[in-house]
Structure 1
Amino acid sequence: MNKTVGIIGLGLLGGSLAKALKAYTDYNVVGYARRCEVCDAALQDGVVSQAWTDVELMIKASDIIVFSLPPDTNASLFREVAHLLEPGQIVTDVSSAKANFVHAVYETIPRGVSFVSVHPMAGSEKGGYEVSHKNLFKGMGWIILEDPTSDVYDAEVADELEAMGRAVGSRIERVGLYEHDEYLAMVSHMPHLMAAMLTNVAGGDELGEFRMRLSAGGFRDCTRVAGGLPSMWREIIYGNRHNVLLGLSKIQEEIEAVKPLLEVDDDGAALEAYLEKCRDIRNELPYLTGQIRK
């Protein structure tokens, strides 16, 4: 009998995972959403066999339970429903910041229930079931978070979740659980905050609207993620704030290193050398330039 994956939260990530699992795997997929209309849409699309606004019913019907709400919401909900979990069930999550959810799991997960966290590196500045799609994960990172010292970590479950990621078209990375948030602060959470800051500096005063009319694709690309859902990104950034603060400190150091390049009277030679170095670093990163390794 095929396993049932229950997805808590059918927004962009959860809805896309449901559609991808339905399209590319043999899992039976069920879902939970707080709004009836989201459940009805997922049922009408045929991506879930059942959907409820009662999370208890979904948990009872599932072999693998995926928490796909924002990080703090996931943590709060897990504490509420942990007593419903039964031995043999598997818990995972797709949160961008892990510390709060992992803390809640390790404090309250019942004996005999396995937990392996994953992080699909996919998303959009837009959210909601209506923008989810089955190919969101294709070519994107699917991070398995390893913690073999934990009693609830199961290497076989990690392998199964890795196979799930491959099935929906992702490339697999494995990272230590306690290193994940530090890494993601540098490549996701701090850059998101920087995009918000850039938007505010360029567009947040009385000349902002005029400046925006003069902007082009470069500004749009640099600030795209600042259009994301503020309530969700508050949870992500604030939940990982210590690592984000370290990232901002590095940015401050970089600013102080770049200022003299603009002050020196050398016709911009030092600045050009700096820009060349940065260009070369970026061009050597295949996942940013589209040269994805198989």
Structure 2
Amino acid sequence: MNIAIVGLGVIGGSFAKGLQAAGYTNVYGIDVSESTLKIAVDQGMIKKGFIEANDILQDMDVIMISLYPNQIAPFVEQHKNRLKDGAVLTDVTGVKTTIIEKVSNILPSTVDFVFAHPMRGSEKQGIIGADHKRFIGANALITPIATNKEASLQLIEKLYKEIGFDQVTRVSPEKHDEQIAYVSQLMHVLSVAVVNSQQASEETLTYAGNSFQELTRIADINAELWSELFLNNRTGLLKSIEHFEIELDALKHTLEENDDERLKAIFRQATNKRREWY
């Protein structure tokens, strides 16, 4: 099976490493950077690298598009006439509904696109941060659409599990975006807001402990990527922010009213829910 990875950044590079480690020897890379391709070849991540996608796409059975959200549909549009009949395309982006809509309008009927989301990102950027071990024990989501063939879905699930993912779950695109807004994007909102707070100063780290470090870790953010993720899921993220504001206002109100009992009740509710999760 011939596999092409389009975009050898930290995630694309990690998949390349994982596929090679799983025994897939015909893994090829497509990237605009010659230096990135050289690193990938030299480190054995890929068999061969290409600047021009059209030089190889017609021979690929699986094409993993590891590009920013707004680049996915234009890539398909540009290269759709070069795709092999029966090829399976997939992505790794963290938003689905808007991307599916854009791609579905231009996707040839001769190929299948399985929309997927590995739930193990990285604050690092570029191929030097690639590490397939990040995927071991991780979760992934697949968002089937009406035109997907069962065999295509199972193929992508198989690849994910072979490179170390522990659980691959099928969910609707709408459910995906709703939940990702809460469990991922809202977390980045909070982290960025805390770091950008007017209270931050040169002395901040003198007083900071592990909780501050853990909360602010993901504020080391790829601005180009995350702005696209936020805006492509702005309805879901706005809803998550509004729900959070309700809870924040409830906490604020207990302080304004010096309401010891209500504050303890909020804490106990959070403790119980957290223990149910883990």
Q: Taking structure 1 as the reference length, what is the TM-score of the superposition?
A: 0.89
In structure 2, the residue matched to 1:175 is 171
Q: CA deviation at 1:199?
A: 1.0
Q: Distance in 2 between matches of 1:188 and 1:249?
A: 15
Question: Is the aligned partner of 1:196 residue 2:185?
Answer: no
- The 8 Å contact of residues 78 and 105 in structure 1, kept in 2 or not, is answered as yes
Give 3-state SS (helix, strand or coil) of 2:141's partner.
strand
Q: CA deviation at 1:32?
A: 0.8
Q: Distance in 1 between matches of 2:22 and 2:272?
A: 37
Q: CA deviation at 1:27?
A: 5.4
In structure 2, the residue matched to 1:225 is 218
* Residues 278 and 25 of structure 1, relative CA distance in 2, 3 Å threshold: farther
Question: Is the aligned partner of 1:277 residue 2:269?
Answer: yes
In structure 2, the residue matched to 1:137 is 135
Q: CA deviation at 1:7?
A: 0.5
Q: CA deviation at 1:23?
A: 0.2
- The 8 Å contact of residues 7 and 65 in structure 1, kept in 2 or not, is answered as yes
* Residues 202 and 122 of structure 1, relative CA distance in 2, 3 Å threshold: farther
Q: List per-residue Cα deviations over 1:22-49 (Å, max 9, x = no partner).
A: 0024352111111101000000011111
In structure 1, the residue matched to 2:58 is 60
Task: Give the unaligned 5+ runs of structure 2.
Answer: none
Give 3-state SS (helix, strand or coil) of 2:231's partner.
helix
In structure 2, the residue matched to 1:17 is 15
Alignment of 1:29-108 (within 5 A): 29-108=27-106
Q: CA deviation at 1:222?
A: 0.7
In structure 2, the residue matched to 1:290 is none
* Residues 226 and 199 of structure 1, relative CA distance in 2, 3 Å threshold: same
Q: List per-residue Cα deviations over 1:144-187 (Å, max 9, x = no partner).
A: 1122xx23x11111111111111111122111123211111111
- 135, 155, 158: which one aligns with 1:160: 155
Task: Give the unaligned 5+ runs of structure 1.
Answer: 287-294
- The 8 Å contact of residues 25 and 47 in structure 2, kept in 1 or not, is answered as no
Q: Which deviates further from its counterpart, 192-201 or 69-78? A: 69-78
- The 8 Å contact of residues 124 and 228 in structure 1, kept in 2 or not, is answered as no
Equivalent residue pairs, number: 277
Q: CA deviation at 1:278?
A: 1.1
Q: List per-residue Cα deviations over 1:185-215 (Å, max 9, x = no partner).
A: 1111122122111111155xxx522224322
- 117, 121, 139: which one aligns with 1:119: 117
Give identity over the alignment, percent: 27
Q: List per-residue Cα deviations over 1:189-246 (Å, max 9, x = no partner).
A: 122122111111155xxx5222243222211111111102111111111111111111
Deviating above 4 A after TM superposition, structure 1's stretches of 4 or more consecutive aligned residues are: none
Q: Which deviates further from its counterpart, 33-42 or 76-85? A: 76-85
Q: List per-residue Cα deviations over 1:239-289 (Å, max 9, x = no partner).
A: 1111111111111111222222223445x3332332222122223223xxx
- 258, 263, 270: which one aligns with 2:256: 263
RMSD across aligned positions (CA): 1.6
Q: Distance in 2 between matches of 1:246 and 1:134?
A: 34
- The 8 Å contact of residues 86 and 110 in structure 1, kept in 2 or not, is answered as no
- The 8 Å contact of residues 57 and 84 in structure 2, kept in 1 or not, is answered as no
Q: Distance in 2 between matches of 1:57 and 1:176?
A: 34
Question: Is the aligned partner of 1:236 residue 2:234?
Answer: no
Q: Taking structure 2 as the reference length, what is the TM-score of the superposition?
A: 0.94
Q: Distance in 2 between matches of 1:144 and 1:252?
A: 30
Q: Distance in 2 between matches of 1:213 and 1:74?
A: 44
Q: Distance in 1 between matches of 2:198 and 2:156?
A: 42
- The 8 Å contact of residues 6 and 61 in structure 1, kept in 2 or not, is answered as no
Give 3-state SS (helix, strand or coil) of 1:126's partner.
coil
